[in-house]
Structure 1
Amino acid sequence: MNLLELTPSGLYCPQADIFIDPWRPVDKAVITHAHSDHARWGMKHYLSHHHSAEVMKLRLGQEISLETMDYEESLEINGVILSLHPAGHIPGSAQVRLEYKGKTVVISGDYKTEDDGLSQPFEPIKCHEFVSECTFGMPIYKWQSQKEIFTSINAWWKQNSSLGRNSVLFAYSLGKAQRIINHLDLSIGEVFAHGAIWNTNQALLANGVKVTEIPKVNQEIPKSRFRGTMIIAPPSAMGSQWMKQFSPYQTGICSGWMNIRGARRRRAADAGFVLSDHADWEGLISAIKATEAEKVYLTHGSTAVFGRYLEEVEKIHAVELKTLFEGENSNLEDS
């Protein structure tokens, strides 16, 4: 009995006739989180966690047919018990648990195991089969604590401010940007948001997510007010005309890919901070072991390397799934 199948449209549960994060238009789509590689346009009906609701409408259109659930709430569909559980990736991110005739499968979407103080922390769910990302599924990926990273970010900003320079930090507009904003030391100066990030903030606030409210960059703000401030912008703003209003400035990038030597140089940024909303090598292993799953399906990332480790060292049966999920894109494009 297979509770989950990989089809040309995405991951499919035949018993409930639902798709999880499909990449082609289908009738019924359960969405793990609102990043664009998981929440795509064109579905007849969507189901997600309620913290994803307004962001999905912002990105996909107010007219979408959307039903929402809370964590731990359950729904029965053709005998399949479906429930959502915290993934810790971004606000509203969820693991999808499917139970049918004594068998349980969990589709994790994207996740991280460190509590970011913004998202509901990841909770491992016992299951027979577990679908896991492995974006950073290699031993070289080992994150410092969030506290250490933000100490470095705030020190960088403070130094720039003391020299009369503005600081522009590039981060995904959904999830990472709000995480950064919530942990900045506001005693250093003001913080401003690019329009794409400000709009996302408003959508999350409307759903009850606690995001520090900051002003949006606009033409009415005099250039002198930006002196020594922090501006949070999506990667798409790098090198754009929009950046000229902040001169003189220093740029920084927040991404797990900053762990790789040379990544910052290739993007021509002044600073790189290893801040990811995905689990590192140890986080992936601990999360998977905690599920006690007999079989693990691996999507996007270092699936071959990580799968071999699970098979040979942890003695867990691992299978690679070829999906269209991207995880944290190494090109740092906004998602």
Structure 2
Amino acid sequence: MENNDDCIQYSIVIPVYNSEKSLEELVNRILSSMFLITEQFEIILIDDCSYDDSWNLLKKLHQTTNKLKIIHLLKNFGQHNALLCGFSYAKGEYIIVMDDDLQNSPEDIPILIDKIWEGYSVVFGKYKVKYHSSIENFFSRRYQGFIHHILDIPTDIFISSFVILKRDVVKNMISIKSSYIFLPALMQKSVPTRKITNVEVTHNPRKYGKSNYNIRKYLSLSLNLIINYSTLPLVMIGLFGIFISLFSLGYGLSIIGRYIIDPSYGVMGWNSLMVALSFLGGTILFSIAIIGEYLRRILMEVSYGQQYVIDEIEL
């Protein structure tokens, strides 16, 4: 049977990175789960330039079903860019995102679908128990805290990689051009928080390999989030500049006051020079922060950069 793109109801978009051992089971379980719901669906797998045999396996799987679209990126652009690429080719009225490592259960897809049909625009899967190491869970919780604080998302909304979104939200997300992609930030700009909710799903122990997320990855993502989606660094620099300037001013006034009381106390000298330099330095830092804020706002409006480059594609 031909796969009619005009009638596709659900698109399952999955970034792939070094997952050759789980891909066949993943695709087969998704097919089994989705055929119980509808035949109008597609699976889009984006290989983020894996160094194992994932791409060759994807090409073999592509030949077995007309429900599968596969994309190979020219180099490793990261999970968020890979998903953005998949979004660009998704035809479904609802887009489902999940991981490639089988820790998200394809059998839970109907749970997400049932919840979004209640009138929500975004539904995140929320795990009862998350089967990661204690260290990874610790950094994951800190990372969640960063996301909620910086993006001003209510703390009762759990952000996960297992999510379903309405097509209009995804269309808004891919229309926002940015050099540094962070999908929860694009989502937050595209839908009111009252239209976002959670539903409880299963998180499975990892069957193959190890997680691609480590301390370095979480720190890198947190830094990207702080720099590109908040004014926190600029605020810190500005406050530090104000503190130095006020401290220098206070110290300078104390020197002048001492001179008034005791004219024999010399105003000129190293003390005065250090006060002047400190005050000047603080003022410069504060000025840089102000200029930086203007630049940030300009970059938010006109961002540049190549988000992803496709090497091969089979639709």
Q: TM-score, length-normalised on structure 1?
A: 0.22
Q: Which has the larger radius of gyration?
A: 2
* Structure showing greater relative contact order (alpha-carbon pairs closer than 8 Å, 6 or more residues apart): 2
More helix by share: 2
More strand by share: 1
Q: TM-score, length-normalised on structure 2?
A: 0.23
